[in-house]
């Protein structure tokens, strides 16, 4: 008796996660001028906004991991 086991091969197209990256921008428009592809282990886009009173003083966008480790700019 022969048992035949079917074999399935799958191919998927995957788009890389793109994040806006900037350092020391003062507006979101300025910060969104540059994109970067995330590569393992970086899998998260992180934005930090610094304020002074009620004014935005600094916007920082960078690649990160879900564990909070950052990279690049």
The answer, yes or no, to whether residue 68 has pLDDT greater than 70, is no
Backbone angles phi, psi at 57, to 5 degrees: -105, -20
According to DSSP, residue 30 is labeled H
> Which pTM does this prediction carry?
0.66
Q: What is the mean pLDDT of residues 22-48?
A: 91
Q: Is 41 helix (H, G, I), strand (E, B) or coil?
A: coil
| CB contact at 8 A, 60 and 22 | yes
User: What's the CA gap between 19 and 29, in Å, rounded?
Assistant: 14
Q: What does the pLDDT read at residue 66?
A: 76
Q: How many CB atoms lie under 10 A from the CB of residue 31?
A: 20
């Amino acid at each position: 008796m022969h048992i035949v086991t079917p074999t399935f091969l799958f191919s998927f197209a995957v788009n890389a996660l793109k994040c806006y990256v900037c350092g020391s921008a003062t507006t979101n428009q300025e910060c969104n001028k540059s994109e970067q592809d995330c590569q393992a282990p970086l899998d998260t886009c992180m934005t930090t906004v610094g304020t002074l009173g009620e004014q935005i003083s600094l916007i920082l966008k960078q690649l990160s991991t879900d564990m909070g480790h950052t990279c690049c700019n």
